[in-house]
Structure 1
Amino acid sequence: MSKTIEKWINEGVKHCENAKFEAGVKCFSKVLEKDPNHTTGLHNRARALSRIGQLEASLADFEKLTQLFPTHATFIGDFAVALHLNNKNDLALFHFEKALKLEPTNSYRYSSRAFFKDRIGDLEGAIADYEKAVELDPEDAIALNNKGLVEEKLGYKDKANQSFERSNELVGYDPTKTNPLPKIGNKAPKHEPTKPINRWDVIKSVFTKEGFKDFAKFTKGLVKGNKG
């Protein structure tokens, strides 16, 4: 990477970290003028574009990434989320499943599809995916917590409580106490199951594993505004 391109990448990331996404897009665009297939430039511009509501342009960058890297599960999974944010749910499902086929033993892929299914109203499908995620990673307290949230929606109170209790045990959280919620390593704090949470809280908890750690930052406003 040339020093000039590296400088623009670093400046773009810094702008986005400070919520100056339009400035970030300009920096990443400079990178892509020099190198149209620059992976980091494409990936970051796609996310920054989604953050300022330019979803069609964001999708174009994500699509190019998946064409350049047709077996890169992270790029395909990110593209799936961007498609969903643009209400292209059939295509989103196709790409969620493609990412999962590429990484069939990655519990995060099931959690991602579960989150999507929850948002489109396939609650039973979401539970099935969360159960598979937990089967692959029994210590995934976030998947257990989110499974409980979906079970609550369906009125499965006993099952929901079991999921919450198992999640609480894994993080050492006692819901009867008023102490701040603990962090699970570098993951987002687990949510107290007895209180309602908004959709942004859910996406924060789902998209914290490796491969999607900062995508939520770029899509916060759009996801928060989505009905689900």
Structure 2
Amino acid sequence: MSRFLKTGVVVLMAATIAVLLGACSSMPSVAELEALPMPQPSHQQLERVLSGRGLVDDTDAVILPAEDVFALSEPMREFLERYVSRRAGDGTKLRQLLQAIFHKGVLGLEYDPFKTYTAGDTFLNQEGNCLSFTLMFVAMARALSIDVYINEVDVPPIWEMQDRDTFVFYKHVNAVVNLKRGESKVVDLNLEDYDVNYRQRRISDRLATAQYYNNRGVQFFYQDEFPEAFRHLRKAIELEPDVSYLWGSLGSLYRRAGLLREAEIAYLQALRLSHRDFVALSNLGRVYTQLGEPDKAGQFHRLAKSFRETNPYYRYNQAKEAFDAGDPEAALALVKDAIRRYRKEHRFHHLAAVIHYRLGNMKQARSSLKYAAKVALDESVSGRYRHKLDKLVAASGS
């Protein structure tokens, strides 16, 4: 079986500026959220941030992009005709398609987490991130009459250790192919970002298209091309106006441009749509700091700190940092705290096993590896842990 296929019941986009938290994260209580100064934006305020005032020269002349992100180019159709037998079964067509996409002598698609393209441009450039690949693959698979849909995966939050107040949430997407007899296969460009343990769900083509425009907007955002960033982020919101993190991206654009009141409105709208959008909460604290409103800023910052300190993935990242710094005792205490908060993450138990092994605690190392294998839903991951456990048992003679 190709390494790009995973059997599963399925259920980056590479990085986006914001997203949802996993079920294991410690979220603010209703009382804490209600205590925050979060007025609902008025219709007039929302119209102002959606106009692009301050970001574009003429708000009345803004033309939003209108790309068919799933469109097949003529070279793509020729590619399918040449490398995939339409008379074959879906399983064979899927295998032939993936071999042609990834074989160095054919298309040879390369992974680049920072490149978001349409299906046609991904094929043309022979590179792209997870969203780019998924758009291209889904378009090609559907042209072959393969039953396929887009799957969104909640990847655990990552803290940037250079800035302990900064945490990055990613959304990862891949494709799920439904074959005969109820069998499903996950097709993923970057399996390192995927785990069957993660929360995941089927999403519509419309939402995937909005994510495309969001990613493109973020790319322009980091290049300080504010008019283009606005056009793309505005298009994303036009497609999916009730998705909180799209408003969060727009808020971050306004904040980067120094338009803090507009940023505030966009973040407040994100929070109106989802109180679970913790990135918007954190960013609002920074906006109020910049606006010179310390009381409001303090409320948001305290909530962000509480979330950070009680989140198991933050403790896990701290444990890895301590271990790499040569302090296994501190690392062990931190990873134990992560496990106490969330026992079903196999990575936590695997790290505990590694630390115990370094400290010479062979019995505890074996126990942690055994539990890691137990909670890993992916059989290949579980198998790797069992293999490590067998080697550890053999080496310790017990």
Q: With structure 2 as the length reference, what TM-score do the two structures score?
A: 0.30
Partner of 2:376: none
Aligned to 1:72, what secondary structure does the other structure show? helix
1:44 to 129, 139, 144: 129
1:96 to 218, 229, 233: 233
2: CA distance between counterparts of 1:147 and 1:123?
Answer: 10
Q: Per the alignment, do residues 74 and 10 of structure 1 end up closer, same or farther by CA in structure 2, a change over 3 Å counting?
A: farther
Partner of 2:216: 79
Amino acid at match of 2:246: R
**1:79/1:92 contact within 8 Å kept:** yes
2: CA distance between counterparts of 1:134 and 1:80?
Answer: 20
**1:127/1:150 contact within 8 Å kept:** yes
Partner of 1:107: 244
Partner of 2:100: 4
2: CA distance between counterparts of 1:133 and 1:117?
Answer: 14
Unaligned runs of 5+ in 2: 1-96, 133-205, 318-398
The residue correspondences of 1:6-85 to structure 2 (distance < 5 A) are 6-7=102-103, 12-13=110-111, 16=112, 38=123, 41=126, 43-44=128-129, 72-85=209-222
Residues 141-179 of structure 1 deviation map (CA, whole Å, 9 limit, x = unaligned): 22211110111011110111111233344x2638xxxxx
Residue 38 of structure 1, CA deviation: 3.3
**2:288/2:296 contact within 8 Å kept:** yes
Residue 94 of structure 1, CA deviation: 1.6
Relative contact order, CA 8 A, sep 6+: which one is greater? Answer: 2
**1:117/1:125 contact within 8 Å kept:** yes
**1:126/1:150 contact within 8 Å kept:** yes
2: CA distance between counterparts of 1:76 and 1:39?
Answer: 19
Residue 37 of structure 1, CA deviation: 5.8
Tell me which protein shows more strand as a share of its residues.
Answer: 2
**1:71/1:102 contact within 8 Å kept:** no
Residues 62-101 of structure 1 deviation map (CA, whole Å, 9 limit, x = unaligned): xxxxxxx998111111221222333331122121111011
**2:281/2:300 contact within 8 Å kept:** yes
Q: Per the alignment, do residues 39 and 96 of structure 1 end up closer, same or farther by CA in structure 2, a change over 3 Å counting?
A: farther
1:154 to 285, 288, 291: 291
Residue 115 of structure 1, CA deviation: 0.9
Unaligned runs of 5+ in 1: 26-31, 48-68, 175-180, 188-228
Identity %: 24
Radius of gyration: which is bigger? 2
**1:77/1:96 contact within 8 Å kept:** yes
Aligned to 1:77, what secondary structure does the other structure show? helix
Q: With structure 1 as the length reference, what TM-score do the two structures score?
A: 0.50
2: CA distance between counterparts of 1:40 and 1:186?
Answer: 37
Tell me which protein shows more helix as a share of its residues.
Answer: 1
Amino acid at match of 2:100: T
